[in-house]
Structure 1
Amino acid sequence: MSESFILINTFLGVTVGIVAVAWLVYDVFFRIKNRVSERINDAMRDRVERQQENSPIIKDMVRPISGGNKPLLRRVQDRIQTWLDQAATGMTVWQFAAVSIMISCLTGGASWLAFGLGWVLGIGTFLSLFLPAIVVYSRRNARSEQISTQLPDAFSAMSRGLRAGQGVPAVVQMIANDFPKPLSEEFNYFYEQQHLGVPPEVALRDMARRVNVMELRIFTIALIVHKRAGGNLAELLQQLSELVRKRVKMKRRIKSLTGEGRMQAAVLIAMPTIVVMIMSLIAPQYISVLLERHDILAGCVFSQLLGAFCIYRIVNFSY
């Protein structure tokens, strides 16, 4: 057997052994805790489902988000279209797919012309296929972050307007005219939908679908409750404004606390690529040994992507 074959088998064996030991330790120390959590979740799930069945407001909010009895392909298309709408791309699913395929083909062709290697063509085509999705995901997160930052002032302004005697349509129009983008765009779209004859509850659910911000979904539920049952909407908006400010403050604090981990992740992810580029310039005969082994190179790329995903999940979490 060749030396490389022995090294690969040894690496796989050690990896499987580490995973097995970690799984055994996890099963021994956390098995009882997981069983208790599962029992509590099972007991609470039935109660929550009964409450949802008895609440028409929650059913109205859940209906456009759930897939229902739609085919799998249709549900995937709806989910992708929701992501595109949340990123404000103005694209349809098929336009996004066409752009992704076109960029993938162009990048793969450029890689093959630059290096003249078939495996470079394959890697370039595969990786660039996900480039538009990464751009949409980043834009979606950035837009949601901007809206979250603008919401406290918007809720406070709406609360003051309601206490001054203005109606809900008037304060919505005020936010659409006086606040910066992207929050003003969403409120203006909601305001124009009502002028075109769309029912307010339908327009509210559509705004909750377009914006990936939990506080705005709470705001839409509050407006639906106010429309059906009445109540002190000004006081609710003021309390919601204070809650959003606390959440934004907590988010910034978490971001500062995890800044070191994110910086270490960026360095660890970028270091192998930078080292390969430097070695290809100062010692091409040394790095050529790695470039000739396509299987090892593919394993390195896969390990880099897996490590980046794991680090991202560690430093980014919901709260």
Structure 2
Amino acid sequence: MTSMIQLLILATGLMLAMVLGYAALSGPSASKEGGRRLQSVRFRHSDSATDKVEAQYRKTLAARKPRVMQIAGSNSRIEALELRLRRTGKKWTLAQYLYVSGGMALTIMVLVYIKTGAALLGLGAGILIGGGVPHFLVNRAIKKRIAAFVTRLPDALDLLVRGLRSGLPVTETLGVVASELPGPIGEEFKMVTDRIKVGRTMDEALQDTADRLNLPEFNFFCITLAIQRETGGNLSETLSNLSDVLRKRAQMKLKIGAMSSESKASAYIVGALPFIVFVLIYMINPAYLGKFFIDERLIVTGLGGLIWLGLGAFIMSKMISFEI
């Protein structure tokens, strides 16, 4: 019992040391902060037209921060979860999500306890699977819908450009996009036009969609419209340039995905191999691993291994993820 407590204290100390080290090394850079301050001073006192336009862009971007971050960072986890369910584009409700999560957790907990007789293991497996599988499915639905939206957004911008060049107002071209393009892009623009029809301004209607989607590409579109109304200029030409930028951005993402695919496959194999070997050995010789669910020392060792494996997976995911 004393050795088990010592192992727990040692593992906890190592975890705290790594967390504190990460927090100390991941803070804001002093040089970058100084550069941002010098840049703000330059924008404030410069007479250049380019600097004034960029300053207006940054001011508009800061004023149009999505409410998604406020919801996700607030004390209300329920609102954040409801927002995630709405982003899937499916008719999933919060009650259905909670019922499915609770039912899966209870089922797995009972099955593991009947099979192994370890109550703590059953509780941990139930919480892990009951909370992880629905979360994974919601994430997958969100990513699939967002990918479809981002893929068709340049086509929507091209359609907007053709409508503006033919003499249609912006609100009419938004309706054309909603009716002509299928999938998530048409559904989102249909919601924008419906809000405008019931009396909302175009800024408010677009901002509601930007808050729900939380996509840089759609935020670029909203900021472009806001800056064009404040500074003037050729909106069709601006949207055409934005469409070209979004297509190049998508091509860069595909190139990065192709270059990092080998590293991702290696990370998946290395991360899944311990679990696969454990299951295979347990299926072949259950008595060999039978004490693993009963002996407290083996349980602590297994939990420590899972913690280190999780840290390794987190580090590998950070190494192969790139922001564009």
Is TM > 0.5 for Structure 1 vs Structure 2? yes
SS state of the match for residue 322, structure 2? coil
C-alpha offsets along residues 30-56 of structure 1, whole Å, 9 cap, x if unaligned? 99x94433433565578899968x94x
CA distance in 1, matches of 2:39, 2:70: 23
1:36 is matched with 31
**Contact 1:159 1:237 survives alignment (8 Å):** yes
CA distance in 1, matches of 2:143, 2:67: 21
- Choose from 283, 291, 301 the match for 1:296: 301
C-alpha offsets along residues 240-294 of structure 1, whole Å, 9 cap, x if unaligned? 1100011000000000111011000110111111111221233333333434422
- Choose from 304, 307, 314 the match for 1:309: 314
CA distance in 2, matches of 1:305, 1:227: 49
Matches within 5 A, 1:263-302: 263-292=265-294, 293-302=298-307
SS state of the match for residue 136, structure 2? helix
1:83 is matched with 84
Letter in 2 for 1:286: Y
SS state of the match for residue 142, structure 1? helix
SS state of the match for residue 286, structure 1? coil
CA distance in 2, matches of 1:95, 1:142: 21
Matches within 5 A, 1:1-319: 8=7, 34-41=29-36, 55=59, 57-58=60-61, 60-62=63-65, 64-65=67-68, 67=70, 72-74=74-76, 76-91=77-92, 93=94, 96-127=97-128, 128-227=130-229, 230-292=232-294, 293-319=298-324
Q: Which moved more, 1:298-307 or 1:137-146?
A: 298-307
CA distance in 1, matches of 2:41, 2:133: 41
Q: 1:106 to 1:271 in 2, by over 3 A?
A: same
SS state of the match for residue 73, structure 1? coil
CA distance in 1, matches of 2:82, 2:40: 29
CA distance in 1, matches of 2:12, 2:93: 46
Q: Which runs of 5+ in 1 are unaligned?
A: none
**Contact 1:112 1:120 survives alignment (8 Å):** yes
C-alpha offsets along residues 27-83 of structure 1, whole Å, 9 cap, x if unaligned? 8xx99x94433433565578899968x94x446522745639x99423x44433333
Residue 115 of structure 1 and its aligned partner are, at CA, apart by 3.6
TM-score after normalising by structure 2: 0.78
Residue 10 of structure 1 and its aligned partner are, at CA, apart by 12
C-alpha offsets along residues 75-110 of structure 1, whole Å, 9 cap, x if unaligned? x44433333322224445565445433332233233
Q: Which moved more, 1:87-96 or 1:263-272?
A: 87-96
Residue 19 of structure 1 and its aligned partner are, at CA, apart by 6.1
Q: Which moved more, 1:219-228 or 1:190-199?
A: 219-228
Q: 1:182 to 1:231 in 2, by over 3 A?
A: same
Higher relative contact order (CA 8 A, sep 6+): 2
Q: Which moved more, 1:77-86 or 1:194-203?
A: 77-86
Q: 1:223 to 1:5 in 2, by over 3 A?
A: closer
CA distance in 2, matches of 1:244, 1:102: 42
CA distance in 2, matches of 1:206, 1:2: 57
Q: 1:95 to 1:41 in 2, by over 3 A?
A: farther
Residue 229 of structure 1 and its aligned partner are, at CA, apart by 5.2
Letter in 1 for 2:125: G
Q: 1:99 to 1:312 in 2, by over 3 A?
A: same
Letter in 1 for 2:318: R
**Contact 1:280 1:287 survives alignment (8 Å):** yes
SS state of the match for residue 285, structure 1? coil
Q: Which runs of 5+ in 2 are unaligned?
A: 46-54
Q: 1:36 to 1:118 in 2, by over 3 A?
A: same
Q: 1:310 to 1:48 in 2, by over 3 A?
A: farther
